[in-house]
Amino acid sequence: MADGDDRENNRTFDDELERALRGEELAAPSVATAEELATARLLASQLARLREVAPGVRERIWASTQARRTVRARTTLWDHLSRSGLAAGANLLVAAVVILLALQGALPWVQELPRLLRPGERGPVNRIAFVSERDGNAEIYAIEPDGSGLTRLTHHPAFDGDPAWSPDGQRIAFRSQRDGNNEIYVMNADGTGVRRLTFHPADDLRPAWSPDGQQIAFVSNRDGDSGVYVMDADGSDVRRLADSPAPDPALAWAYGR
């Protein structure tokens, strides 16, 4: 088919599509074949169907929009103030009082309220830390719950293991033999800023964070038998828990005490 015919055909197809979309009668087939026109008509009718919206969708999207607006108004006080002026000023005053009381500990329940995450914000410990020998020896890796974003966090020929996320998701406590025997270390969630917390010729293992992130418990045989020890998150003030029995394989803090 010659170029000129092609252009003519394309224009016809174009027109048919447009016309069919507008619901007008199709022109008599001129250059394009009847089959092509029928296909164009079919495509046009399918496209038109995609423009139809089922009943109920309008209300559902509206409700969801309003819910999002409400959440955002709560999370962005300054924005809110700038948009609706005086009315929000009153809200801000109330919010400021609540925040001040909460900071002073007068309203302990405020801190217990679950907080919605804002778009793009990552919740604490949304990643999984694990130990693998995939690169030759035991190293700590992190991965998203959906299996994406695999990252190697430790890079040391010695054994690294027992990873434990801090409650705020910012740090990971772990065990390493990099200084000759098992000691507790801490690093940032991205593997930077490694710091050694314990310094003892005996083995220190299985770190576990306190719920407030201020302390780390671990297992050690520094006094001859295995026991549970607690230290501040910076490694200071190590003490053995009285009568701690030989521990289970993993340590965890119990809430409510």
Partner 1 sequence: MPGEGASLARLGMLTRPIAGVQPADAVARDEAFAVLYERQFGRVYAYLRYRLGDELLAEDMSAEVFARAWGKLRNLDDPDRATAWLFATARNLLADHYRGRPGCLSLSALPAGRHPATDSPEAQLLTEESLSFVSHCLTGLSEREREIVGLRFVAGLRNREIALAFGLSEGNVAKIIHRALAKVRARLREEYPDG
Interface contacts to partner 1, rule CB under 8 A: 6, 9-10, 13-14, 17, 21, 33-36, 39-40, 42-44, 46-47, 49-72, 79, 83-87, 90, 116-120, 148
User: d(Cα 219, Cα 172) in Å, to the nearest integer?
Assistant: 17
User: d(Cα 216, Cα 62) in Å, to the nearest integer?
Assistant: 47
Task: Kindly state the smallest distance separating residue 84's Cβ from partner 1, in Å.
Answer: 6
The token pair at 95 is: 């919010």
- Is-contact 200 220, C-beta < 8 A? yes
Task: Kindly state the smallest distance separating residue 178's Cβ from partner 1, in Å.
Answer: 34
By C-beta, is 89 or 157 nearer to partner 1? 89
User: d(Cα 216, Cα 235) in Å, to the nearest integer?
Assistant: 8
By C-beta, is 148 or 236 nearer to partner 1? 148
Task: Kindly state the smallest distance separating residue 119's Cβ from partner 1, in Å.
Answer: 5
By C-beta, is 6 or 234 nearer to partner 1? 6
User: d(Cα 139, Cα 136) in Å, to the nearest integer?
Assistant: 9
By C-beta, is 87 or 99 nearer to partner 1? 87
- Is-contact 172 129, C-beta < 8 A? yes
By C-beta, is 45 or 137 nearer to partner 1? 45
Angle between helices 3-21 and 34-49 (to 10 degrees): 40
Which secondary-structure segment (H or E) carries 75? helix 57-75
Task: Kindly state the smallest distance separating residue 19's Cβ from partner 1, in Å.
Answer: 12
Residue from 182, 181, 195, 206 nearest 234 by CA: 195
Tally Cβ neighbours within 10 Å of residue 231: 19
Task: Kindly state the smallest distance separating residue 227's Cβ from partner 1, in Å.
Answer: 42
User: d(Cα 69, Cα 73) in Å, to the nearest integer?
Assistant: 6
Task: Kindly state the smallest distance separating residue 110's Cβ from partner 1, in Å.
Answer: 20
Task: Kindly state the smallest distance separating residue 30's Cβ from partner 1, in Å.
Answer: 13
Q: What is the DSSP string of 143-178?
A: E-TTS---EE----SS-EEEEEE-TTSSEEEEEE-T
By C-beta, is 31 or 158 nearer to partner 1? 31
User: d(Cα 141, Cα 153) in Å, to the nearest integer?
Assistant: 5
Rg (C-alpha) for the chain, rounded Å, is: 32
By C-beta, is 39 or 221 nearer to partner 1? 39
